[in-house]
Amino acid sequence: MFFLASQGYRCIAHDRRGHGRSSQPWNGNDLDTYADDLAALVRALDLKDAVHVGHSTGGGEVARYIGRHGTGRVAKAVLIGAIPPLMLKTEANPVGTPIEVFDQLRASVAADRSQFWKDLSLPFYGYNRPGAKVSEGVRESFWLQGMMAGLPASYFCIKAFSETDLTKDLGRFDVPTLVLHGDDDQIVPIGASAMLSSKLIRNAALKVYKGAPHGMCTTLKDQVNAELLAFLR
């Protein structure tokens, strides 16, 4: 955002319900409500011709927003390491991740969410790979952001991002869309996400970052920034 604002673009971010500096209600920790919260913000600021950029669950939020509210105020969309169309392994989605993995995430959040965020930072940024240059500052920042999320949001959003089928939402995309994903993403495996979503979205452009982790907006920020700027222009 700092880079794009420095290029003259107006950049707006919201703290998702239950996360960051947002309030922390028990209810509404699901993608329908996330999308409706975003729509309320878009209307309040009267945004037009906006480019919606969503990373990870945020990409699911962009998809559900378009699915529920259309593209009347949307010029373009970008999905980065994003969860669509569906993360969960089902009979119809055999390349997905088994429910037991998400059950373990929930158990870890409930047991000791502080340690959970510390541990998750390693695969998130690919810091567990041989030869990786680890930034302890990035890991601490990730932990801090995780701890700013309320416990209910941290717990309930696991169901939201893993079990929400966004296939039909992707079919409603009718704006230029850029899909960026690392092929070494250990959090949202590329085979069940970008490789499928880029085919479901009409005329989507897919760019695969070789060896990139889930947190590629941090580890490869200069490359991602250049990609975003070119797409905006």
- Name the average pLDDT for the chain: 97
Total structural domains within the chain: 1
Neighbours of 10 (CB within 10 A): 9
Residue 154 designated active-site = no
Tell me the pLDDT band of 24, cut-offs 50, 70 and 90: very high
- Taking only the tens place, the pLDDT of each residue in 197-220 is 999 999 999 999 999 999 999 999
66: confidence class by pLDDT, cuts 50, 70, 90: very high
Total-model pTM: 0.97
Out of 52, 55, 181, 214, pick the active-site residue. 214
Report residue 187's pLDDT band, with 50, 70 and 90 as the boundaries: very high
What is the CATH number for 207? 3.40.50.1820
Tell me the residue range of the domain where 222 lies. Answer: 2-232
Catalytic residue of the set 14, 19, 52, 56:
56
Q: What is the per-residue pLDDT for 13?
A: 95
Phi, psi (5° rounding) for residue 37?
A: -60, -45
Q: Is 185 an annotated catalytic residue?
A: yes
pLDDT value, residue 47: 98
